[in-house]
Structure 1
Amino acid sequence: MKKRFKLLAGLLALTLALSGCGQPDPGAASGQTPVSAGSQSASAGELDVLRVGLAALPTQLDPDRSIGIASIKLFYNIFDTLLFTDKEGSICGQLADSWEWLDDTTLNVTIREGVTFQNGEPCTADDVKFTFDRILSGYGDGTIAVLYETLDTVEKVDELTVQFKLKKADAAFEQRLGSIWGASIVPQDYVTEIGDEAFQTAPIGTGPYQLVQYSPEKYVLERYDGFWGEAPAARQIEFIAYPEASARMTALVTGEVDIINDVPADARDTIAATQGLSVVGSSIKNIHIYTFNTRDESSIMSNQAFRQAVTMAIDRQTLVDTLWTDYAKVPNGHQFESYGELYIEDYPGVQYDPEKARELVKESGYDGQEVITIEMNDGYYTNGNQAGEAIVGMLAEVGIKAQVAYTDTFSLSADIRAWSSASRFDNPLGALWLLFGPGSSPANAEKGSWTPTEEFVAAGNTLIDSTDLEEQRAAARTLLEVFDTYCPGTYLYQAEDLYGIRDGLDWDMTYCENQIMPFRAGDLKVSG
């Protein structure tokens, strides 16, 4: 598993030697600024251009059609939601100026005066209603719709006020509205005029940056002078695709870009040792998971004991120690510490137990003839390929034949499917329930991979309905227990993001935990 990373580190070292970037900068002693891609303007604290090298660019930029790990990095800079979760974890207004509960199922939200979209048109209650009606009508892939499972209707009260009517009381509804993975407000007139398909590559929002160039290789954002909030530091941001890690690192070293993402673990020290560069990291609210096809009765994966064996055969700590650095970890169950009082600290999670796994394999009746397929997109998840190949070896140790199969399509019909679980908001409803509960892709009656048990559904509904903390904690524990016992899938590790960055950029990475790249005022400052 280390061979690829060592090769990357070697390539980077060669680049450093050839470019001279690994040597002391003769300009540094005389106070000269090292060469960098970011062009600092005459105005103190500003950049003309910030260049960012990404492993992948999104294929579309309509935030209400779908949200993934590539698109979420850009959405926060272009669009706004009504509410937002601030850096301390509290719900605050973003587009919303105020909000008030009229009763348990009725919420009025008033948006800020004077907000405009990036084409200059005012943002009103009509745009908010249009956005949510679009989602509730079934538009998109359901990524956002499932977040608003309790929402019934949205009605206009006046030009700046909308009313949300819920199907039932929902203790987490403000958290849903405050999710960066939630409903970004889009302009009714503009979308209606150009159509949904055109909007995917020519989006307009109310955020601090507007898209001015779109191509498969590069997206260019330009600061929107009419933005309702404080102006960000960079006048322009170029997001440039470098699919290969070695190409991203070379671009950083040679000054083509200022920031890169997905720095391989074994290349961290090499970049950090380069003058003018450093590596910064963050754990992210994303657990890499595998889904299991429990419905195909012709496959051994339909056997619960066999699925349990698969989960116990995976040495998660070795995967973390080998593939990641300081920020990744093995979680104790499909949950995040950011859940606060709903984080079940004493839950043990799945334990690595190859001896027990062998017993369960025997109990399942598996005869060693069937080859289990682990399906994944080649290189889509950081370290996903390496983890898959390692897990094939771990399964072999307990008598299970498995193989990795790479595909460009996503399907839950495979024996095992590589996926990820991002926490949409800090509550078990925002990850485990959202990803495996009713209405989710795995629970789809026709194309899904499992049927949620009554106990799982009841626990999720308790989390929605109840305001009693002890009842909520008991329900949260039940979700974890059912997932790890029935095994519609399993978790591998809570992942991390490593970024290479040039000196002179002071980047607050708090929001990076949500997998976004935040470049608003207060997120990025130019320090030199």
Structure 2
Amino acid sequence: MANNRSTSDGRHFATDRRQFLQGSAALGAGLLVPAALSKAANAAAPGTITYALSAYPPNLRPFDWSGQAAVTVKALLFRGLLCFDEKGAVQPELAESWEQPDSRTYRFKLRPNATFQNGKPVTAEDVKASFDAIRGEKSTAYVRQAFQAVETIAVEDPKTVRIVLKQPTPSFILALAGQMAPIVFAGKMDNPDAMIGAGPYRLENSEKGVSLTFKARTDFYRPGQPATETVRFVAYPDDSLRIAALNAGDVDIIEYVPWQSMKGLSQTKGLTLQNSLGSFMYVVFNLKEGPFTDPKVRRAVAHAVKREDIVKAAFFGAGKVLDGVPLPAGSPYAVPELEHLWPYDPDRARSLLKEAGAQNVQATLLATSTYGFHKDIAEIMQQHLAAVGMQVKLSLPEWGVRVSQGNEGRYHFAVNGGGPDLGDPDDLTAFFGSGSDSYRRSFGLSDPKLDELLNRGRHESDTATRVKIYAELQRAVADSVPVTFLNFRAQGWGVRDRVKGFKVLSDQMNNQVGMAFDTASVS
């Protein structure tokens, strides 16, 4: 019985940023909200941490993925049964402890003092209702696919819940520790925008597009946490103004430190740079209609893009080419001969277009004006694809509109950023597996072969067998190209020295940064 507790074509691409990004700073400045310009964020207020967001969250729905900024903010409102520590190990959260009496069964004991923001206790019924909502037939939850492994959820008593899986699933416990499987109050689940969580803060007020202010709960289940009375998020979509706000002391922390500013920030007295290399950029396709329903055309795109140019021009060298599947260095699943599935080969791209009878492709590439590096990548890709005969028009809406258009499939192909959620190869399900429509995966993606391989890998307990399954998956992906990856990118947070206890998690867990507000304080 297992028992776990607490536990080319010769053309030269100009990689000088100024040659193809003129005017981008002016565009970004135009996006900055007037209120953020007209009044300082008062970062030095006692007991207040002011955090500069790269974008105002499109929504705060607990089960949806709507960008890193939203995930960070939602960590203050919502919590799951489990969480990750700074080394990526699974730890208790709303669950006080858990046990695994057999390979399919998990039993969770809830903290006796855990309550929701409305003061109601967190019960096993809330857990069951939350997970039933996630795994429901009409659910649009981001982790719905992972929850299809569940056979039954049973309430044993008010503080004990038993989950039985259809078959052993090693990655399931990791899905419970991620931020996309929170427990919400069962008595108010009719409106996804008004669900009540058990996080350490309450939303005190918000100004749409500008800021959100949170006040610490005095009844949080961890004594002495949260360590700061007030957390204020202010939207600074423009990179240069975000870094300027940090330097001026208007904010305490900024996310998405501009890559050209990382070195200077790290050498500035009173500031610290925290960064990681777990995030990556990739391209999704509309698989229901348009030119990319043909896998040969998708493969042409994958071979036409010179990823070195993206790393150099869009990220100032702070990244790494990714022309295969995003698996962490040193992972047993990272097979050397499968590292480069789509190397830069414009001649191969032209040949594929000819084979597909698609030598005059015209398509719209969706990105966003909110994040400069998304726009930069789109412009680089536009030039590379033109070199193989593809005419590409750019669409650059602000982030919220971009997310909506992605969710609704209103694009031909699109630039995306992402990262791992589980620290397990089952993370690939989010990119290659069938599921509810999400801007994070290709629209209309449904590939029985990929689904079968992902399902086998998810449920296999033997590591050697899993390695073989995921190698087969990578070979299948090389041909079908449900998405194509571009590069790993360094992602940085700038932190003023007056902030203590704010720690970004490891490379593979950096999207969990919102959890750092539990222990962050100001001096």
TM over 0.5: yes
Contact 2:505 2:513 in 1 (8 A): no
State how far apart, in whole Å, the 2-side matches of 1:421 and 1:40 are: 34
Distance 1:198 1:374, change over 3 A: closer
Contact 1:146 1:439 in 2 (8 A): yes
State how far apart, in whole Å, the 1-side matches of 2:504 and 2:516 are: 11
Instruction: Report whether the alignment pairs 1:451 with 2:446.
Output: yes
1:219-258 per-position Cα deviation (integer Å, ceiling 9, x unaligned): 1111222111142332211001122223323322332211
468-477 vs 87-96, greater mean Cα deviation: 87-96
Contact 1:312 1:356 in 2 (8 A): yes
Contact 2:323 2:486 in 1 (8 A): no
State how far apart, in whole Å, the 1-side matches of 2:326 and 2:447 are: 18
Structure 1 residue 487: Cα displacement: 1.4
Alignment-mate amino acid for residue 293 of structure 1: N
Contact 1:339 1:428 in 2 (8 A): no
Contact 1:373 1:402 in 2 (8 A): yes
State how far apart, in whole Å, the 2-side matches of 1:367 and 1:357 are: 10
State how far apart, in whole Å, the 2-side matches of 1:160 and 1:355 are: 62
**Cross-structure match for 2:119:** 120
1:75-97 per-position Cα deviation (integer Å, ceiling 9, x unaligned): 22332211222222222211112
Contact 1:233 1:525 in 2 (8 A): yes
Give matches, 1:210-229, under 5 Å.
Answer: 210-216=202-208, 217-229=210-222
**Cross-structure match for 2:416:** 419
**Cross-structure match for 1:482:** 476
Distance 1:197 1:86, change over 3 A: closer
Structure 1 residue 412: Cα displacement: 3.3
State how far apart, in whole Å, the 2-side matches of 1:302 and 1:381 are: 28
State how far apart, in whole Å, the 2-side matches of 1:8 and 1:302 are: 32
**Cross-structure match for 1:261:** 255
Counterpart of 2:353 (choices 355, 361, 382) is 361
Structure 1 residue 273: Cα displacement: 5.7
**Cross-structure match for 2:430:** 434
Alignment-mate amino acid for residue 43 of structure 2: G
Secondary structure of 1:395's counterpart equals helix
State how far apart, in whole Å, the 2-side matches of 1:498 and 1:155 are: 42
State how far apart, in whole Å, the 1-side matches of 2:439 and 2:244 are: 43
**Cross-structure match for 2:309:** 318
Counterpart of 2:282 (choices 286, 289, 311) is 289
Structure 1 residue 197: Cα displacement: 5.0
State how far apart, in whole Å, the 1-side matches of 2:27 and 2:447 are: 48
Alignment-mate amino acid for residue 334 of structure 1: V
Secondary structure of 1:517's counterpart equals helix
**Cross-structure match for 1:344:** 335
**Cross-structure match for 2:148:** 149
Counterpart of 1:329 (choices 315, 320, 323) is 320
State how far apart, in whole Å, the 2-side matches of 1:261 and 1:274 are: 17
Contact 1:54 1:240 in 2 (8 A): yes
Alignment-mate amino acid for residue 367 of structure 1: Q
**Cross-structure match for 1:509:** 504
Structure 1 residue 489: Cα displacement: 2.2
Structure 1 residue 270: Cα displacement: 5.0
Structure 1 residue 63: Cα displacement: 0.8
Alignment-mate amino acid for residue 94 of structure 2: L
State how far apart, in whole Å, the 2-side matches of 1:275 and 1:287 are: 30
1:137-167 per-position Cα deviation (integer Å, ceiling 9, x unaligned): 3565331322312123322110111111323
Structure 1 residue 508: Cα displacement: 1.7
Secondary structure of 1:342's counterpart equals coil
Give matches, 1:32-431, under 5 Å.
Answer: 37-39=42-44, 41=46, 48-138=47-137, 141-180=140-179, 182-189=180-187, 191=188, 195-196=190-191, 199=194, 204-216=196-208, 217-229=210-222, 230-272=224-266, 275-284=269-278, 286-296=279-289, 299-325=290-316, 327-331=318-322, 333-337=324-328, 340-349=331-340, 350-368=342-360, 370-376=361-367, 378-407=368-397, 408=401, 409-410=405-406, 411-412=408-409, 414-430=411-427
Distance 1:265 1:274, change over 3 A: same
Structure 2 spans left out of the alignment, 5+ residues? 1-15, 29-39
Q: Which has the larger radius of gyration?
A: 1
Distance 1:442 1:209, change over 3 A: closer
Contact 1:328 1:493 in 2 (8 A): yes
Distance 1:414 1:38, change over 3 A: closer
Identity across the alignment (%): 25
TM-score, L = length of structure 1: 0.82
State how far apart, in whole Å, the 1-side matches of 2:370 and 2:447 are: 28
Structure 1 residue 428: Cα displacement: 2.1
State how far apart, in whole Å, the 1-side matches of 2:137 and 2:82 are: 22
Q: CA RMSD in A?
A: 3.2
Distance 1:185 1:301, change over 3 A: closer
Alignment-mate amino acid for residue 227 of structure 1: F
Alignment-mate amino acid for residue 353 of structure 2: V
Structure 1 residue 460: Cα displacement: 1.1
Contact 1:8 1:245 in 2 (8 A): no
State how far apart, in whole Å, the 1-side matches of 2:265 and 2:91 are: 37
State how far apart, in whole Å, the 2-side matches of 1:96 and 1:89 are: 17
Distance 1:375 1:11, change over 3 A: closer
Structure 1 residue 472: Cα displacement: 0.4
Runs of 4 or more off by more than 6 Å in structure 1? 4-12
**Cross-structure match for 2:494:** 500
State how far apart, in whole Å, the 2-side matches of 1:267 and 1:5 are: 16
Give the paired residue count: 483
Secondary structure of 2:168's counterpart equals coil
Distance 1:516 1:325, change over 3 A: farther
Contact 2:144 2:435 in 1 (8 A): no
Secondary structure of 2:326's counterpart equals coil
Structure 1 residue 109: Cα displacement: 1.3
Distance 1:2 1:440, change over 3 A: same
Structure 1 residue 452: Cα displacement: 0.7
Alignment-mate amino acid for residue 411 of structure 2: A
Distance 1:332 1:109, change over 3 A: farther
Distance 1:461 1:88, change over 3 A: same
State how far apart, in whole Å, the 1-side matches of 2:161 and 2:111 are: 12
Distance 1:66 1:273, change over 3 A: closer
**Cross-structure match for 2:11:** none
Contact 2:503 2:516 in 1 (8 A): no
Contact 2:41 2:50 in 1 (8 A): no
Alignment-mate amino acid for residue 236 of structure 2: Y
Secondary structure of 1:515's counterpart equals helix
State how far apart, in whole Å, the 2-side matches of 1:459 and 1:338 are: 22
